[in-house]
Amino acid sequence: MNDAMFIVLINSSVIVILKLISMCYKSKCKKFDCLGIHIERDIDNEEKLDEQEIVAKSISRVASSDKL
């Protein structure tokens, strides 16, 4: 194999890994195994942070609507 083939193979592998991580984040799954890649996350803390962000956004919307 020449150098171009190695570059394409490595880039493709990185793209697949990044896509799997993206899918795992969006689905809020705790564990994900695919092609020898094992991803395990603590979604409890992430859910709490997401709830805090939603509350903060709603408070800022109420505050901005009160100014009008």
Distance separating alpha carbons of residues 20 and 14, to the nearest angstrom: 10
> Residue ranges of the domains in the chain?
3-67
Q: What is the pTM of this model?
A: 0.43
Show pLDDT as tens, one digit a residue, over the chain (68 residues): 688 889 999 999 999 888 877 776 666 667 777 778 777 777 777 778 888 888 888 877 766 666 55
Pick left, alpha or beta for residue 35 (phi over 0 → left; psi -120 to 50 → alpha; otherwise beta). Answer: left
